[in-house]
Amino acid sequence: MSTSVQETVPKRRVAIIGGGLVGALAVLYFAKRGWQVSLFELREDLRVPENKKNLSHRSINLALSARGLSALKRISLGLDDKILEHVIHMKGRMIHLGEGKLKSQLYGVFGECIHSVEREILLELLLNTAATFTNVKMYFQHQFKRCNFDDGILEFENKKTGNPFQDSADLIIGADGAFSAVRTQLMRVVRMDYSQEYISHAYLELTIPPRVNDKDEEEFAMDPNHLHIWPRHSFMMIALPNRNKSFTCTLFMPFENFDALKTEDDLMEFFRKYYADSIPLIGEDQLKKGYFRNPRGSLMSIKCKPYHYKDRAVIIGDAAHCMVPFYGQGMNCGFQDVEMLNGIFEEYEISAVQSSDKLALALEEFTKRRHPDAIAICDLAMYNYIEMRSSVVKPWYLLRKRIEETLYWLFPTRSIAPLYTMVSFSTMRYSEAVQRWKRQGFLLNVIGVSILTTVTAASIWIGYYRF
Amino acid sequence: MSTSVQETVPKRRVAIIGGGLVGALAVLYFAKRGWQVSLFELREDLRVPENKKNLSHRSINLALSARGLSALKRISLGLDDKILEHVIHMKGRMIHLGEGKLKSQLYGVFGECIHSVEREILLELLLNTAATFTNVKMYFQHQFKRCNFDDGILEFENKKTGNPFQDSADLIIGADGAFSAVRTQLMRVVRMDYSQEYISHAYLELTIPPRVNDKDEEEFAMDPNHLHIWPRHSFMMIALPNRNKSFTCTLFMPFENFDALKTEDDLMEFFRKYYADSIPLIGEDQLKKGYFRNPRGSLMSIKCKPYHYKDRAVIIGDAAHCMVPFYGQGMNCGFQDVEMLNGIFEEYEISAVQSSDKLALALEEFTKRRHPDAIAICDLAMYNYIEMRSSVVKPWYLLRKRIEETLYWLFPTRSIAPLYTMVSFSTMRYSEAVQRWKRQGFLLNVIGVSILTTVTAASIWIGYYRF
């Protein structure tokens, strides 16, 4: 096909519902592939200065890691380099053991880091980049109402004017989050297996402000290059650094424990018992205010299948799989969805100009390939909650971790890699990471038991233990 | 409190959404308890003769068993006796083995039966009885749109006039089926765990008409006192008798198998291979017409929790738990929901006159008590699908069944009862039935193995087997 013909054929149109991080990245990928892209977002455009004050600040900080960076890099718009200028590197967990004792656990044996990033900055970068494409139209304050997938008609309400708005598209992408309306529409036309499960824990955010040092400069009140954790078995607190030298703390515990702290005295007694070192950092007054004023959020896990309908629609990001935040993979996984979908479009040679019989196959392949990965990371995120609030301080966990890391340090190309490394510092499929982890689990237990036996035998022999 | 005071106090109002079998029975229970009841149903009133022609006949026949009968009896309106005049007793399964061989498996060792009943007749009985209560109002062709649970405001659309309609209630009961709109509203105010799972099989209904005998009278073409099954491992057909001496056959098989039968020749070849004895009964022409004209239905399982919101709302029946139809328990379970809810209202002394702090506790207790039962029967229904299409012809299954039945026949009051008996011929909690079944499974295997070993040893000893 000659270029001149291509230019006269109208471009195929994709409607992307949801202008959060994943939707905005999808806009860029489709724009780059040459599609005519329309983005519809319910909220206001956060790039307009007066809208910033309306933003809800209630969200767990984001940890950008290898998968997210890979998706930002692959599109070759320099997004990865640009965002890395605005992040704070976190090289490990800082465990707050109680009585002010601290213990650093590095994430990677070769100094790999995850990156604390502010949602707004990343979203602004993506939307600003989208605005540079002439084949992208962005509609803010447009609420998606319903659609007919087969004829591609979409209905919205313009929340500014209250008027209905209609558009049409050849392909509809649902990136509209955990409570996805596109997914609800999809359920009417496909037999979708779906599950949502709330965990019994809620979360509440508090702030550790910057402290003023001797030179009257603001500085971080704790080491900024760690993700801070106060593991307390059935509950925990974490803190991630912000660029303004504050930390956002998130308290996770069962709803009934939150309810049990009824008075300021209850709260202070609880904090003095479990999070004593954080009280001077947060400030007693701010702690009381924050605890009783800030909203409590609930956390859930969503799995579903399939993600697509014929050659007409596909859901990505939280709309397709919503996970609890304990592996810091929600955004990374959503970004990888976009990268994988793009890769499949390349494999199937899906054109932005001509309709293709292969599009239905490509979308089906996306469901087939991505579903086991989504299940794997949703389950790992749930598992990591136990690890973060409890396992990280247990000797057996620490011994296994040490062995695993030593083996990986000795043989970095072999198949033994710590789970955290596979999830956060590689782009290997989540499902593969889980399979490897299960395989090597047995081996690690064997080595662990051998070491313990040897140490015990040696201790008895040298008379360390006396019976 | 004196009677005169009670009479001047306005009655508490309950709105029941969904006038199917479960909703209609709930109307009766609440009416009998003295509540002011409003029933809202999307469809037309089937008691009006001209509406009968609009009824969709696409539904698996209903098998009424002990739990359903118990709920009909408990309310003391004579419903159980009235409906038993219109049922056809089914005392067992008639297995169609191929090549026209038949084998009867009785359901109960003491001649217990399940009862084939037509949905319309049962529903008409319930609605006619509801109409005799002065404290019941029924609204047909009213589509539930949304509600505010806390202030009890309900919004509907009158489908006849197209006008909106508003009502209010102290308590809202969602009995609006698998795709419950009340449940959707409930999900907005409670953290509801929810899952829906489709099975890979579809169903399609066919009819075996009455045959004309020598005396020119219509009669059943097969034994009417059995539920007929053609088990074919990965698929099956069943047939239930109707009062007009026809049978409704339901073909269950994977969607792709349905799709594979593209032509009439494909269909006939398939039927000659697997369901040969049914061809003359259905009639070749009617088989072809029915197969290619009748709709295919999909089947799914729904589980959720909790069922209630404060003292304001509760969901029952398919809205709370939807099961695949293979244990014939959908309606029975829904009826038992109503009976159990009523029992809890009695325990908590919930008045139809005064609001009570205990109502929230009673609804919470309903979730707590009913949820494990719903999970148990949803899982059993899935399990029974395998039993019906495959296990029923396997020697090990038959041996275990024989032992179980013999033990139950010998010691009917002991704790060993066949699972089918516990589910269909008792009102014990589903969750308890499953627990007992799991406990006795081990024992049955031990006895089964002992018998097999003894028989084999004896056979060798008497020279039956020669090596």
Distance from CA of B194 to the nearest CA of A (A): 5
Give how far the C-alpha of residue B436 lies from the chain's centroid of Cα atoms, to the nearest Å: 22
pLDDT per residue over A77-102, tens digit each?
A: 999 999 999 999 999 999 999 888 99
Question: Does residue A466 surpass a pLDDT of 60?
Answer: no
Nearest-by-CA chain A residue for B197:
A193
Name, in order, each residue with C-beta under 8 angstroms of A129's C-beta and a sequence gap of 6 or more: A28, A77, A79
Distance from CA of B299 to the nearest CA of A (A): 9
Enumerate the H helices of A353-429 as residue ranges.
Answer: 358-389, 395-410, 419-424
Cis ω for the linkage preceding B306 (within 30 of 0): yes
pLDDT per residue over B362-396, tens digit each?
A: 999 999 999 999 999 999 999 888 777 777 677 77
Question: Does residue A459 surpass a pLDDT of 70?
Answer: yes
Distance from CA of A346 to the nearest CA of B (A): 29
- At residue A88, the pLDDT reads 96
Question: Does residue B4 surpass a pLDDT of 80?
Answer: no
Confidence of residue A2 (pLDDT cuts 50, 70, 90): very low
Enumerate the H helices of B49-178 as residue ranges.
Answer: 66-74, 79-84, 119-130
- At residue B418, the pLDDT reads 84
Q: State percent of chain B over pLDDT 70.
A: 93
Bigger pLDDT: A465 or A467? A465
CA distance A430 to A248: 28
Which residues in A lie closer than 8 A to residue B196 (C-beta atoms)?
Answer: 192-195
Across residues A322-340, what is the average pLDDT? 96
- At residue B446, the pLDDT reads 77
Encoded tokens for A31:
């724009």
CA distance B200 to B33: 43
- At residue A57, the pLDDT reads 52
CB spacing of A194 vs B194 below 8 angstroms:
yes
Across residues A181-206, what is the average pLDDT? 96
Question: Does residue A51 surpass a pLDDT of 90?
Answer: no
> What structural domains does chain B harbor?
3-58+119-196+302-387 (3.50.50.60), 394-461 (no CATH)
CA distance B296 to B53: 21
Which residues in A lie closer than 8 A to residue B300 (C-beta atoms)?
Answer: 191
Question: Does residue A307 surpass a pLDDT of 90?
Answer: yes
- At residue A464, the pLDDT reads 64
Bigger pLDDT: A59 or B392? B392
CA distance A439 to B4: 76
3-state secondary structure of B427: coil
Quote the mean pLDDT of chain A: 90
Confidence of residue A409 (pLDDT cuts 50, 70, 90): confident
Name, in order, each residue with C-beta under 8 angstroms of A360's C-beta and a sequence gap of 6 or more: A310, A311
pLDDT per residue over A279-295, tens digit each?
A: 999 999 999 999 999 99
- At residue A168, the pLDDT reads 97
Across residues B14-43, what is the average pLDDT? 97
Across residues B412-423, what is the average pLDDT? 78
CA distance A20 to A365: 24
Across residues B336-355, what is the average pLDDT? 95
- At residue B218, the pLDDT reads 95
Across residues B182-195, what is the average pLDDT? 96
Bigger pLDDT: A404 or A179? A179
| Residue A24 DSSP one-character state | H
ipTM metric: 0.81
Q: Quick count: other Cβ atoms within 10 Å of Cβ B113?
A: 20
Which residues in A lie closer than 8 A to residue B192 (C-beta atoms)?
Answer: 196, 198
CA distance B404 to A32: 68
CA distance A282 to B207: 74
Q: State percent of chain B over pLDDT 90.
A: 73
Question: Does residue B217 surpass a pLDDT of 90?
Answer: yes
- At residue B3, the pLDDT reads 44
Helices (H) and strands (E) in chain B, counts: 15, 22
Across residues A267-281, what is the average pLDDT? 96
- At residue B450, the pLDDT reads 77
Question: Does residue B329 surpass a pLDDT of 90?
Answer: yes
Mutate which of B180, B187, B197, B324 to test chain A, going by most A C-beta atoms within 10 A?
A: B197
Question: Does residue A7 surpass a pLDDT of 70?
Answer: no
Question: Does residue A234 surpass a pLDDT of 80?
Answer: yes
